[in-house]
Amino acid sequence: MTDSRRTRIDRTAGPLSPSRRRFIGRTAAALAAAPFVRPPALFGQPAVRPAPGMPEPQFVNTNGIRMAVYERGEGLPVVFVHGFPELAYSWRNQMRSYPAAGLRAIAPDMRGYGLTDRPADVAGYAIPSLCDDLVGLLDALDIERAVFCGHDWGGAAVWAMPRLYPDRVVGVIGVNTPASGGPPPSEPPEEPLIVFTENYYAATFLEPGRAEAVMSRDVRRALEMIFRRGWYWDVENMRGYPPDSAEKTMDMLRMIEEDNYQGELIMPPDVLDYWVETFEATGFTGGLSYYRANMGGGGAAPTGDIDVPCLYVGAENDTILRPSSSDRMPAFIADLERHVIADCGHWTQQEKPDEFDRVTLDWIRRKFQDA
């Protein structure tokens, strides 16, 4: 088995534009001078039930944590890696469609989420540590190599995998999140949609306890604000909002508190019920630790060429991770395909599962199954 704790280089920082990285770096430096306050009783094993309609989870020991893993099907293994504030349940549609296509679908609750352990040490949520979690998962399931498919923070982790552990990766599907690297652009590829202030959502997530206080006050309402289509997940809307609005500044905590929700939910009520039940039990600190461990200029993203076949799936109306953010990727990925799903916001595989499956399964068939 591969030693998942071996030495690596080029620690990650996450998928940020240079201007956004500088802004968050300054914010993090200011917060670092403040005393650290950890919200009480948010870590420890959650008292939540397994996700409905999913296979019975198994539990594996990896990189010092106990990880819950849902698995179904046989064939080429595909590991699905979720982001914030998500769960393995984010891949519920793919847990049906991928096995039907002759693939082995594997979806863990990532470190800090759901039925998986939520260590209090924020450093453990850095991307290299998450990659160690995933390598230990492969070892526990006796899998040598897999395709890795990740969304949001999961995308940051799967793009790091072939740079840190190239011998464990068959291919990569990055969903919304681009791989970092390549020459910096001489100018922004398109007009900015967001006015960055100290209340930009990622900056507010860095301060321990601040986002937890807002989100945990009414977990259902917080998740109803986040998991939407339209509203602030719409490019044309964002072009028209006033510069001091919560939407234009992407002040998610203010949007939760203003309680003036627009657009519509991207999931049915029974699915939202499971999300609410889970996060009421676990809190949000585990997921917010991804921001605290990886943002603020504390490390450099893994760099260098990626030598496995890769697919980038973007969404037309993701106003934070815009499809143009993938424009530099051909410079360091020789075998790269890109696809943008129209009329889709940030929650791509949940919002447009049929098109997502069509695009990704076709790519897997052409690259691996027909070989």
360 assigned to some structural domain: yes
pLDDT at res. 47: 77
Give the residue numbers spanning the domain of 96: 18-36+49-369
43 assigned to some structural domain: no
pLDDT at res. 302: 79
Give the residue numbers annotated as catalytic, written as ranges.
152, 346
Cα(27)–Cα(39) distance, rounded to whole angstroms?
20
Cα(116)–Cα(110) distance, rounded to whole angstroms?
6
4 assigned to some structural domain: no
Please state, in angstroms and as integers, the Cα–Cα distance from residue 29 to each residue in 2, 22, 43, 121, 124, following that order.
Answer: 37, 11, 25, 19, 20
pLDDT at res. 139: 98
6 assigned to some structural domain: no
pLDDT at res. 191: 86
For every one of its 371 residues, what pLDDT tens digit does the chain have, with 9 covering 90 and above?
A: 434 333 332 333 344 554 555 545 554 444 444 333 333 334 445 478 999 999 999 999 999 999 999 999 999 999 999 999 999 999 999 999 999 999 999 999 999 999 999 999 999 999 999 999 999 999 999 999 999 999 999 999 999 999 999 999 999 999 999 999 988 776 667 889 999 999 999 999 999 999 999 999 999 999 999 999 999 999 999 999 999 999 999 999 999 999 999 999 999 999 999 999 999 999 999 999 999 999 965 545 677 999 999 999 999 999 999 999 999 999 999 999 999 999 999 999 999 999 999 999 999 999 998 85
Number of domains in the chain: 1
pTM: 0.89
Cα(79)–Cα(274) distance, rounded to whole angstroms?
22
pLDDT at res. 297: 55
159 assigned to some structural domain: yes
pLDDT at res. 8: 33
Q: Residue 258's domain is classified under what CATH number?
A: 3.40.50.1820
